[in-house]
Amino acid sequence: MSSLSIVLPAKNESNGLSALLPRLKAAQPAAQIIVVDDGSSDDTAALCAAHGVTVLRNPYSMGNGAAIKRGARAAAGDVIVFMDADGQHDPALIQRLLDRLDEGYDMVVGARGADGQASFQRGMANMFYNWLASRMTGFNVKDLTSGFRAVRSERFKEFLHLLPNGFSYPTTCTMAFFRSAYAVAYEPVPIYRRVGTASHIRPVKDGVRFLLIIFKIATLYSPLKLFLPTSGAFFLLGSGYYAYTYLAHHRFTNMSALLFSAAVIVFLIGLISEQITSLTYRRDS
């Protein structure tokens, strides 16, 4: 039977943890429970110590992804379960993820339904991410950004160097698993109302970050699938503009040359990115 570690990144989540930790220990009494205190200003660390769970303290906030990486390095289990510390994830559902993992998968993600999204805007953004990731990978990605997932420790730790320190670690992790041909499954789970302070994610403030996630989805899996259509679009624009200027003015303009040049440059960037991505995921046998 595989040993289990449960990692919970937490920043000022003492209210949520006070209710969650007893239920978590009751649901998985043999598991190693690790709470990564990401620079909390409340009594998160003291609360964890009182409940007898391992607590790793960051001297200042390093980000959700950084907390995940620190927890994963300290995890001794063959399987790691990541979940939020705010009470959104029911500890009783962990066994469902583990049962799916035993079917031969390398990662099982707790997939939220439409009613499990924090807001309408977040729900629409996640739907777009899921659609884009599905198009890129050829798999039905049901929840790209879910923080509730069970992974085989050995597999997950291969990609620690790729994970960002911010909130997009689930995106990076998922695309890395698909790229490396590790089996991924999605298990529908309900999401409950969070306990304590409001979410640390601000959709307006983090708009640029979410936009970067879209490009990360593409570049982490197959850059040419993003750059090749873009290059083709520049080439078609250049061809169309050249046809217009030739028929109207019988000349080749600087704008046409610029569009054709952009098509070549974007294609070459995509080709180089594809080679870099292949080297990134190459593992010595």
Residue 196: its pLDDT value, please?
55
Over the chain, what is the mean pLDDT?
87
Comparison of pLDDT for 207 and 221, the residue scoring more: 221
* 123: nearest Cα among 150, 144, 107: 144
Residue 285: its pLDDT value, please?
42
Domain range enclosing 263: 224-281
What is the rounded CA–CA span in Å between residue 230 and residue 235?
9
Domain count across the chain:
2
Q: Are 92 and 148 in contact (CB under 8 A)?
A: no
Q: Are both 216 and 229 inside the same structural domain?
A: no
Q: Are both 156 and 239 inside the same structural domain?
A: no
What is the rounded CA–CA span in Å between residue 274 and residue 18?
47
Residue 124: its pLDDT value, please?
79
* pTM greater than 0.75: yes
Task: Count other C-beta atoms under 10 Å from residue 136's C-beta.
Answer: 20
> pLDDT, tens digit, for every residue of 40-90?
999 898 999 899 999 999 999 999 999 999 999 999 999 999 999 988 899
Residue 33 has pLDDT above 60, yes or no: yes
Q: Are both 93 and 233 inside the same structural domain?
A: no
Q: Are both 100 and 188 inside the same structural domain?
A: yes
Residue 201 has pLDDT above 60, yes or no: no
- Max CA-CA distance within the chain? 82
Please report, rounded to a whole number, the percentage of residues in the chain having pLDDT higher than 90. 53
- Mean pLDDT for 99-127 is 81
Question: The CATH number of the domain where 52 resides is what?
Answer: 3.90.550.10
Comparison of pLDDT for 160 and 206, the residue scoring more: 160
Q: Are both 232 and 94 inside the same structural domain?
A: no
Residue 121: its pLDDT value, please?
67
What is the rounded CA–CA span in Å between residue 39 and residue 44?
10
Q: Are both 127 and 59 inside the same structural domain?
A: yes
Reported as a pLDDT band with limits 50, 70 and 90, residue 249 is confident
From 221, 245, 273, give the residue that closes a domain. Answer: 221
Residue 117 has pLDDT above 60, yes or no: no
What is the rounded CA–CA span in Å between residue 48 and residue 37?
9
Please, is 231 exposed, middle or buried when counting C-beta atoms within 10 Å of its C-beta (0-12, 13-18, 19+)? Answer: buried
**Phi and psi at residue 6, in whole multiples of 5°?**
-120, 125
- Mean pLDDT for 239-258 is 92
- Mean pLDDT for 21-47 is 93
Residue 233: its pLDDT value, please?
96
C-alpha 156, offset from chain centre = 12
Residue 97: its pLDDT value, please?
96
User: 3-state class of 181 per DSSP?
Assistant: coil
Instruction: Find the helix or strand (DSSP H, E) in which 174 lies.
Output: helix 169-179
List the single range of 68-77, 116-125, 140-149, 227-236 with lowest mean pLDDT: 116-125
Q: What are 188's strand-pairing partners?
A: 111
What is the rounded CA–CA span in Å between residue 75 and residue 81?
10
Q: Are both 17 and 64 inside the same structural domain?
A: yes
Q: Are both 210 and 255 inside the same structural domain?
A: no
- CA–CA–CA angle 18, 51, 93 (5° rounding): 60
Q: Are both 235 and 194 inside the same structural domain?
A: no
* 10: nearest Cα among 195, 263, 258: 195
What single DSSP character describes residue 198? P
Q: Are both 89 and 210 inside the same structural domain?
A: yes
Q: Are both 156 and 53 inside the same structural domain?
A: yes
Residue 99 has pLDDT above 60, yes or no: yes
From 174, 205, 221, give the residue that closes a domain. Answer: 221
Reported as a pLDDT band with limits 50, 70 and 90, residue 119 is low
Q: Are both 200 and 230 inside the same structural domain?
A: no
Residue 264: its pLDDT value, please?
97
From 193, 221, 249, give the residue that closes a domain. Answer: 221
What is the rounded CA–CA span in Å between residue 179 and residue 173?
10
